[in-house]
Amino acid sequence: MLSDIKEIINKPSLEAADLKKLLSVNSEEERSVIIEKAAQVRSHYAGNEIYLRGLIEYSNKCQKNCLYCGIRASNLNVSRFSVDFDQVLQCAEIAWKSGYGSIVLQSGERSSKEFVNQITDLLYKIKKLSNGELGITLSCGEQSRETYQQWFEAGAHRYLLRFESANQDLYYQIHPDDKLHSFSNRMIALKNLRDCGYQVGSGMMIGLPGQSVDHLVDDLLLLKQLDVDMVGMGPYIEHPDTPLFRFSHLLDSEEERFRRSILTIAVLRIFMKDINIASSTALDSLDPQGREKAIVAGANVLMPNITPVSFRENYFLYDKKPYLTEADELVERFKNSDLLRDFSFGYGVWGDSRHFSGS
């Protein structure tokens, strides 16, 4: 009922049963009330600035075989690349000069010494070219504590590592059940990141086959328990070259997955008020104004893709990825959007989450 929902969103803190009620609403009116509350919470606790991170997809080489991901090691239809150092540095420089306070360096997961040292090298070089000004977030998977430490010392200060699902049964339905894909190792990695001093980001996919509202509630509770500073979460989008594709008949419609993703962002904002929440690229695959709508519902970080275009067609984690959207174009789209009149971009700032800076 609408009155119940209004009561819940105004509670000082939410419990599992509250989260479940909020995530289970199905009238447009109830959804709007939740989204409006999330907008107020964001404005009060996180401000009305959208922070920009230039996303560089450094390499699609990956040692893992996550069952949902288009660049999993066993997919032989992908040609593998690493962007040349010079090109990465050029992109970073453009991001810095365009006033993006930070970049995200993302890559498939590899733990070879060679890869670890490449990233270390890049970090030092990017820090140097920007006089230490450009903030750097890494998203390079599970690594040893020593590697995380080495990268932190080289200049990375945030790290994104999604847990994908907090429920272990579901986790092993979407990952092989082996040492390389262990849920407990993922938890250890998240703890190591925190211990090394990173601002830690995590998240999950929304609308996975077999995922229930209870699973999503557990995901939100795990984010809180991990005390994350940032969240990246988005809709699951099936990819034909992956094992999970054969469960596509179990999926909700794209509209429903989109609605659920937006609602989950809003509920998370009300639940963990001062964190940074990304408006993920995958939302645009389901709705042409997907990323704008996520901002309206409480997200506050946008990650325009600044990878050189020639590499992008081999970084298809999921189908229908809007890989040709240029960073400038996306920023313009946001600036001109009717939905975003009350927002401005946070230029030239790192845009750390208040959750981290205030802690």
Binding positions for ligand SF4, rule: CB under 6 A: 62, 64, 66, 69, 71-72, 108-109, 141, 317
- Which residue's C-beta sits nearest to ligand 5AD? 318
- In angstroms, the CA 208 to CA 154 distance is 36
Binding mask 104-143 for ligand 5AD (x = CB under 6 A): ----------------------------------------
189 touches ligand 5AD by CB under 6 A: no
Residue with tokens 């709508």: 293
Among 205, 216, 222, 267, binds ligand 5AD (CB under 6 A): 205
How far, CA to CA in Å, does 12 sit from each of 7, 108, 241?
10, 40, 45
Residue from the set 8, 223, 297, 317 that interacts with ligand 5AD by CB under 6 A: 317
163 lines the binding site for ligand 5AD (CB under 6 A): no
Helices marked H in the chain — which ranges? 2-9, 16-23, 28-45, 85-97, 113-129, 145-153, 168-174, 183-196, 213-225, 254-271, 282-286, 290-296, 309-312, 327-335, 354-357
The single residue among 237, 265, 302, 306 that binds ligand 5AD, judged by CB under 6 A, is 237
Q: Which residues pair with 55 in a beta bridge?
A: 104, 305
- Cα separation, 322 vs 313, whole angstroms: 10
127 or 175, CB closer to ligand SF4? 175
Site residues (CB under 6 A) for ligand 5AD, limited to 48-77: 68-69
By a kind-dependent CB cut-off of 5 to 8 A, residue 72 interacts, out of ligand SF4, ligand 5AD, none, with ligand SF4
**Contacted entry of ligand SF4, ligand 5AD, none for residue 109, CB cut-off 5 to 8 Å set by kind:** ligand SF4
Q: Which is nearer to ligand 5AD, 237 or 275 (CB)?
A: 237
Q: List CB contacts of 139: < 8 A, sequence separation 6 or more.
A: 104, 105, 106, 107, 159, 160, 161
Q: Which does 78 bind (CB under 5 to 8 A by kind): ligand SF4, ligand 5AD, none?
A: none
31, 239, 269, 293: which one contacts ligand 5AD (CB under 6 A)? 239
CB of 258 to ligand SF4, least distance (A): 21
The amino acid occupying position 139 is S
Q: Rule CB under 6 A: say whether 186 interacts with ligand 5AD.
A: no
C-alpha distance from residue 81 to each of 60, 70, 159, 249 (Å):
6, 14, 22, 33
Query: Between residues 109 and 284, which has the closer beta carbon with respect to ligand SF4?
Result: 109
Q: How buried is residue 305: exposed, middle or buried, by Cβ count under 10 Å (0-12/13-18/19+)?
A: buried
Q: Among 24, 19, 27, 23, which residue's Cα sits nearest to residue 2?
A: 27
What's phi and psi for 263, nearest 5 deg?
Answer: -65, -40
Buried/exposed 43-76: b ≥16 CB within 10 Å, e otherwise: eebbbeebbbbbbbbbbbbbebbbbbbbbbbebe
One-letter amino acid identity for 198?
Y
Residue type, 81: F
Select the span of 190-198, 233-241, 263-271, 287-295 touching ligand 5AD (CB under 6 A).
233-241
Per CB under 6 A, which region of 54-62, 81-89, 189-197, 230-238 contacts ligand 5AD?
A: 230-238
| Binder of residue 226, out of ligand SF4, ligand 5AD, none (CB less than 5 to 8 A by kind) | none
Q: Residues interacting with ligand 5AD, by CB under 6 A?
A: 68-69, 162, 164, 205, 234, 236-237, 239, 282, 317-318
